[in-house]
Amino acid sequence: MPKQRRLKSVEDVRRYLANVLLRVEAQELDAQVAGRMSYISNVLLKAIADGELERRVAMLEKTVARGPL
């Protein structure tokens, strides 16, 4: 079974995709499989970005709710 990775940040996913590319170039991984892995990684990147945006909006809303200083 392949090593499990925790892909929690954009940097984690970037490193993961770089590894996928290196494995394809070394002919250790089928290009079609790599394409599927890349597609799923892009979905994950969107979810990470959306989560970060949601966190930032919540912080702004909290700041605005406190009113002027």
pLDDT digits over 9-67, tens only? 999 999 999 999 999 999 999 999 999 999 999 999 999 999 999 999 999 999 999 98
In this prediction, residue 2 carries a pLDDT of: 65
User: Whose structure tokens read 């925790």?
Assistant: 6
Task: Please enumerate in sequence order all residues whose Cβ is within 8 A of that of 20, keeping only pairs 6 or more positions apart, or say none.
Answer: 29, 34, 37, 38, 41
Residue 4 has pLDDT above 90, yes or no: no
Show the tokens assigned to 3.
């090593």
What is the rounded distance in angstroms from the CA atom of residue 16 to the CA atom of residue 7? 8
Phi-psi region of 50 (alpha: psi -120 to 50; beta: other; left: phi over 0): alpha
